[in-house]
Structure 1
Amino acid sequence: MKFRTWIITSTAVALAAVMGCGKAGTQPAAGTADVAAKEGASSEAGHIHDGWWCTEHGVPEDICGLCSSKVAAEMQKKGDWCKEHDRPESQCFLCHPELEAKFAAQYEAKYGKKPPKREG
Structure 2
Amino acid sequence: MNWKNGLTLLPMLTLAFAAGCGQTASNPAQTKQNVTDTESSEVAEHTHDGWWCSEHGIPEEQCGMCNAKLAAEFQKKGDWCKEHDRPESQCFICHPELEAQFAALYEAKYGKQPPKPTE
TM-score range, shorter chain: 0.5 to 0.7
- Partner of 2:103 in structure 1? 104
Q: CA RMSD in A?
A: 1.1
Q: Distance in 2 between matches of 1:76 and 1:104?
A: 24
Q: Distance in 2 between matches of 1:56 and 1:114?
A: 15
- Partner of 1:90 in structure 2? 89
How high is the sequence identity, in percent, across the aligned residues?
76
- Give 1:99 deviation, angstroms: 0.2
Letter in 1 for 2:71: A
- Give 1:118 deviation, angstroms: 1.2
> Structure 1 runs of 4+ off > 6 angstroms?
none
Q: Distance in 1 between matches of 2:115 and 2:90?
A: 17
TM-score of the superposed pair, with normalisation by structure 2: 0.62
- Partner of 2:118 in structure 1? 119
Structure 1 unaligned runs (5+)?
1-44
Q: Distance in 2 between matches of 1:118 and 1:95?
A: 15
- Partner of 1:47 in structure 2? 46
Structure 2 unaligned runs (5+)?
1-43
> Structure 1, residues 38-67: CA drift from partner, whole Å, max 9, x if none?
xxxxxxx82100000000000000010110
- Partner of 2:71 in structure 1? 72
TM-score of the superposed pair, with normalisation by structure 1: 0.61
**3-state SS, counterpart of residue 77 of structure 1:** helix
Q: Distance in 1 between matches of 2:85 and 2:114?
A: 24
Q: Distance in 2 between matches of 1:54 and 1:64?
A: 7
Q: Distance in 2 between matches of 1:110 and 1:104?
A: 10
